[in-house]
Amino acid sequence: MFIPMLAINHLRCEYKVNPIGLDVKSPRLSWQLQSDQRNCVQSAYQIQLSLTDCHEQTVWDSGKVISDQSIHVELAGWEPQARTRYYYRIRVWDAAEEQSAWSAAAFFEMGLMDSKNAWQADWITSRPDEHDTACPRLRTTFELKQEVTCARIYVTALGLYELHLNNKRVGQDYFTPGWTSYGKRLQYRVYDVTDLLQAGGNILGAYLGDGWYKGHLGWKKEKRIFGDQAALLLELHVHYADGTVETLLSDGDWKTASSAICMSDIYMGETYDARLETDWTDNTSTRWSPVDVLEYTKDIIVAQENVPVTRVQELEPIALITTPQGDRVLDMGQNMVGWVKFNIEGEQGHTVELRHAEILDHEGNFYTENLRGAAQSIRYTLKGEGVESYEPHFTFQGFRYVKLIGFAESINLDDFRGVVLHSDMERTSDFQCSSPLVNQLHHNILWGQKGNFLDVPTDCPQRDERLGWTGDAQMFIRTASYLMNTGPFFTKWLRDLQADQGEDGGIPFFVPDLRSSTSEGWGDTSHSSAAWGDAAVICPWTIYEMYGDVRLLAEQYDSMKRWVHYIHEQGNNPYLWNTGFHFGDWLGLDSKPDSYIGATDKDFVATAFYAYSVSLVRKVAAVLGQGEDEAYYAKLHDHIVTAFREEFVTPAGKLAVPTQTAHVLALHFELLDAKARQRAIDQLGKLVADAGNHLTTGFVGTPYLNPVLSETGHHDLAYTLLFQEDYPSWLYQVTKGATTVWEHWDGIKEDGSLWSADMNSFNHYAYGAIGEWLYRYVAGIRSDEKSPGFHVVHIEPQPGPGLDWVEASLDTMYGRVGSSWYRRKNNEMEVHVTIPANVTGTVVLPGVSLQTVMEGGLPLHKVPHLQGVQTKESHVKIDLGSGSYHFTYKCVEESEPVTIK
């Protein structure tokens, strides 16, 4: 007798595997179902919590809950206790009432819970010296009284910290506690240090770095924007076998000393003198002096929200180059973000230097002018004791090329490795196709995200900027959420956005904001540009669609409304936005000479995004059950659309702004009536054709260009834009050797010369938003806003000229979705589809008549388990449940069906 398999795996709590240090009152659990049967749907679940992994001490049992919900399930009616680990297991029932076995146990551990009142420790710091750039060390010693069962460190810092316990580094995280809106929010981290403790005496120490808190930030060469003293706040809780708990606190009894890190700065790099190294056990009395206790609030401290920055991989240099100017330069083969670790041997006191750059100029020389004020330099002085190994601590570089200064004449490439650092987001997708150039483009988009998602979504990772620009983030967020699990990453960043939102509802250009923390300020035009400030609405809505996160919508709802209210209060007409500073279609190719702003009227852009944000807030109100708000925003949206048409559409139905971006926004945001819409569709095709089948869009228009073309009957034209290899195009950069996405379409010009050095990043992800089109349209994997998180998945691949096959996958919260298509001989098509358990889907097969479609060798009407089949024009729509499917058919020009082999 055949017994179907039903199992539970991929358990998560708040997106994470076995998280430690949660401060949420109602933790949410997610899990995935596995089944060897099609149409597997969960009908009920049961969750048990225990204090042990073998579930001998059950503290809560949900009982059998009739529900198909398997993501973000709140533990209703149960309250966790601070500093407590809970093990959980789950079992489910399917629609046939088949019961799974219990899942393997997973766990989550609570943090301090009440940060305002829970902290007993003091802020401690080294005595300030404004002329001293060295990173101080702080240290204490302690004795263990008896056998330890578990131990936790709760820690945060003003600046950055690196912990060491008994001469071993604590944790694998970097740039902790991360960059938040200091003064309003500061994260703390929890470490399990049970295995690092030893019987008898122990030594606990920390390095402190300037980081974003007091190091260089922004292009004004400012320091100490958020504060002028790095400080540590730490508690070690040791649990003994007899049930007692001992707590070690940062306080005035700690000692401080200088370190071998003479300087470490996010922009400038690091200077390290190995001759100054001392072991943490060194007790020379003249080295260690008392710390200062710093009076600083603890009310702003929150638990770690984002995934930490970690070393994700290492790259080997592919070549050692001698440039025409005689420089010796390592080529890492990839524009990356992180640092170089190296081995070296030499005389005591000899200093070597590594400088970092993204490109070589047209003559092949080392090029750093585009770094502006960021030195990106590592200086290391040898202690002269055999082979020495080094890598930096509190800095990161954006680079492909590394200039070596002071190294021996003979260079061994094996002595160097590039350490890639970014927020440890889970990779969730893959895309491969028949075009090597498009595959390289996808690679570049992915590495653009790796390089710029280092705790905050930065615009660029190399020059004196590296700020969390809101516009760039909202333009790329959907592509980012295909490529990696960005749920925790954007949850943390959006909380900072809300914290930095002005009292009037305005949104800073970048988050965390520098404007409110610096004495000079950033001027009256330092916030609230259209398309930038709209990140307050677009980003949480996108996370909701991609991950089904209703809680984040509820958290951000007030911020969204305040942003819309801010716009509503601008100018004399509450339904147009025609005042204030705006970036417009930033870097649009139709701009005037010596201007960064494209030709699309800025009032047009502002009002279009105003309408779009209001439409999304209306949807959010509906999701949250806010009926009155939903009606209000629906009415407001109608007024804005009417005002938009009166202002920007002629009586004959023609858009008054004759640019590609204007037509793209009007169509994508659904701002036109039927007559004007068709005219805009036709005109957009003409505008692209008039540009030689090239784009002229900038930051605002480019993310929507190909999706709009595909949605409005110009799908082949979208493919044409994709496959252009001359300037301006995505593949132009690829043909120029790019390994990440550029800030400018012509960062390197066709003659090899370079765009202006003042703003020419070669790792700038905004134009990588084309990745969304590759997944949503070319591969055809789409979410459903009415059943978010891919609980209902739509697969509608759209082949086009230039590709023979595409293979794509996406790991959703429910499991892996797959969509692949292949052109075969004789006009045959194959489409492979995978739908995870507890998910339903629709598949739309293009260019086919119903009579020719086969699945598993059978005509559709004979295939069991399909939930519905419809035909419309030359498309067939199939409703189905979970499972793997293999469709074959002849395109509409052919007549005979194809069977599967």
Look at residue 896 and tell me if it is in a domain.
Answer: no
Q: Answer whether residue 1 shows pLDDT above 50.
A: no
Mean local confidence (pLDDT), 753-777 = 96
pLDDT at res. 853: 83
pLDDT > 70? residue 486: yes
Judged against a pLDDT cut of 80, whether residue 900 lies above it is answered with no
pLDDT at 894 exceeding the cut of 80:
no
Same domain for 300 and 383, yes or no, is no
pLDDT at residue 260 greater than cutoff 50:
yes
Nearest 5°: phi and psi at 217?
-150, 140
656 Cβ contact list (under 8 Å, min separation 6): 647, 648, 649, 650
DSSP-assigned letter for residue 384:
-
What are the tens digits of pLDDT across the range 694-725? 999 999 999 999 999 999 999 999 999 999 99
Q: Is the pLDDT of residue 519 over 50?
A: no
Mean model confidence pLDDT for the chain: 94
What pLDDT score does 847 carry?
A: 82
Examine the residue annotation and report whether 465 is marked as an active-site residue of this protein: yes
CATH of the domain at 549: 1.50.10.10
Together in a domain, 28 and 60: yes
User: What is the per-residue pLDDT for 848?
Assistant: 82
Cβ within 8 Å of residue 337, ≥6 positions away: 396, 397, 398, 399, 420, 421, 422, 450, 451, 452, 454, 461, 462, 763
**What is the distance between the alpha carbons of residues 489 and 138, in angstroms, rounded to a whole number?**
30
Give the CA distances from residue 47 to residues 74, 89, 103, 394, 421, in Å, rounded to whole numbers and listed in that order: 11, 6, 10, 42, 36
Residue 194 lies in a domain: yes
Please tell me the number of Cα atoms within 13 Å of 465 on its side-chain side: 22
Residue 3 pLDDT level (bands cut at 50, 70, 90) = low
Average pLDDT estimate for 328-344 = 98
- Asked whether residue 899 is assigned to any structural domain, the reply reads no
540 and 657 part of one domain:
yes
d(CA 613, CA 272): 49
Predicted confidence (pLDDT) at residue 513 exceeds the cutoff of 90: yes
Confidence grade of residue 850 (pLDDT, cut at 50, 70, 90) = confident
For the segment 44-70, what is each residue's pLDDT rounded down to a tens digit? Answer: 999 999 999 998 889 999 999 999 999
Res. 522: pLDDT tops 80: no
Same domain, 580 and 513: yes
Q: Are 471 and 768 in contact (CB under 8 A)?
A: no
Which residues is 138 bridged to in the sheet? Answer: 206, 256
Together in a domain, 790 and 878: yes
**Quick one: 481 and 610 in the same domain?**
yes
pLDDT at 816 over 80: yes
Residue 897 pLDDT more than 80? no
Q: Of 722, 753, 776, which residue is a domain's last?
A: 776
Q: Output the six-digit token pair for 44.
A: 């009920």
Strand extents, DSSP E, 458-553: none
Do the strands 106-110 and 289-290 form a parallel or antiparallel pair, or are they unpaired? unpaired
Let me know if residue 895 belongs to a domain: no
Distance between CA atoms of residues 11 and 18, nearest Å: 9
Q: Is residue 153 part of a domain?
A: yes
- The helix or strand, by DSSP H or E, that contains position 608, with its residue range, turns out to be helix 602-623
Domain span including residue 321: 310-423
Looking at residue 840, which CATH number applies to its domain? Answer: 2.60.420.10
At 241 the pLDDT is: 94
> Higher-confidence residue: 615 or 220?
615
CATH of the domain at 92: 2.60.40.10
Choice among 14, 465, 772, 855 that is catalytic: 465
248: domain CATH number is: 2.60.120.260
Pair 720, 684 in one domain: yes
For residue 733, give both structure tokens.
């950069």
Question: Is residue 272 in some structural domain?
Answer: no
- Place 442 in a pLDDT band, splitting at 50, 70 and 90: very high
pLDDT at 140: 97
Q: Are 672 and 575 part of one and the same domain? A: yes
pLDDT at 901 over 70: no
- On whether both 731 and 811 belong to a single domain, the answer is no
Confidence of residue 763 (pLDDT cuts 50, 70, 90): very high
Nearest CA-CA partner of 534 in 480, 499, 486, 494: 494
Helices and strands: H and E segment counts in the chain: 15, 48
What are residue 208's phi and psi, to 5 degrees?
A: -120, 135
pLDDT-based confidence at 516, cuts 50/70/90? Answer: low
Per residue in 382-432, pLDDT tens? 999 999 999 999 999 999 999 999 999 999 999 999 999 999 999 999 999
Structure tokens at 128: 């300030």
Catalytic residue among 305, 358, 743, 772: 743
The phi, psi pair for 97, rounded to 5°, reads 65, 20
Token pair of 847 as six digits:
């260019």
455 plus 576 within the same structural domain: yes
Residue range 280-289, pLDDT digits in tens: 988 776 689 9
511-518 mean pLDDT: 72
| CA distance to 125, 249, 252, per residue, from 290 (Å) | 9, 15, 7
The confidence score (pLDDT) of residue 859 equals: 86
Q: What is the pLDDT of residues 611-636, one digit of tens each?
A: 999 999 999 999 999 999 999 999 99
Predicted TM-score (pTM) of this structure: 0.96
Q: Answer yes or no: is pLDDT of 555 > 50.
A: yes
Number of domains the chain is built from: 5
pLDDT at 109: 98
Q: Are residues 74 and 157 in the same domain?
A: no
Is residue 268 situated within a structural domain?
no
Cβ-proximal residues to 615 (8 Å cutoff; 6+ apart), any chain: 633, 637, 669, 670
Distance CA 415, CA 164 (A): 26
Decide: 616 and 538 in contact? Cβ < 8 Å.
Answer: yes
On whether the CB atoms of residues 415 and 344 are closer than 8 A, the answer is: yes
Q: What is the pLDDT of residue 588?
A: 95
Per-residue pLDDT band at 366 (split at 50, 70, 90):
very high
- Cα angle value 452/458/464 (rounded, 5°): 105
Mean pLDDT of 830-850: 92
Judged against a pLDDT cut of 70, whether residue 796 lies above it is answered with: yes
891 to 776, 831, 845, 862, 877: CA distances (angstroms): 22, 12, 10, 20, 15
* 159-213 pLDDT per residue, tens: 999 999 999 999 999 999 999 999 899 999 999 999 999 999 999 999 999 999 9
How far is the C-alpha of 123 from the C-alpha of 250, rounded, in Å? 7
| More confident site: 304 or 517 | 304
Q: State whether 765 and 678 are in the same domain.
A: yes
Per-residue confidence (pLDDT) for residue 898, from 0 to 100: 32
- Residue in the structure block whose two tokens are 């930033």: 586
Tally of residues, the chain: 901
Q: Domain ends where: 776, 811, 828?
A: 776
Residue-by-residue DSSP string for 160-206? EEEEEETTEE--S-BSTT----TTT-EEEEEEE-GGG--SSEEEEEE
The Cα 479–Cα 773 span in angstroms is: 8
CA distance 632 to 126: 55
Segment 83-96, tens digit of pLDDT: 999 999 999 999 99
User: Does residue 187 form part of some domain?
Assistant: yes
Last residue of a domain, one of 741, 776, 811: 776
Checking if the pLDDT of 518 tops 60, the result is no
Cβ 19 vs Cβ 109: under 8 Å:
yes
- Residue 487 DSSP class: H
Beta bridge pairs of residue 643:
none
Task: Note whether 510 and 575 are within 8 A (CB).
Answer: no
Residue 526 has pLDDT above 60, yes or no: yes
pLDDT of residue 430: 98
Q: Looking up tokens 């399909």, which residue turns up?
A: 866
pLDDT at 132 over 80: no
pLDDT at 858: 86
Query: Can you tell me the distance from the alpha carbon of 779 to that of 807, in angstroms, rounded to the nearest whole number?
Result: 7
Short-list 82, 245, 280, CA closest to 151 = 245
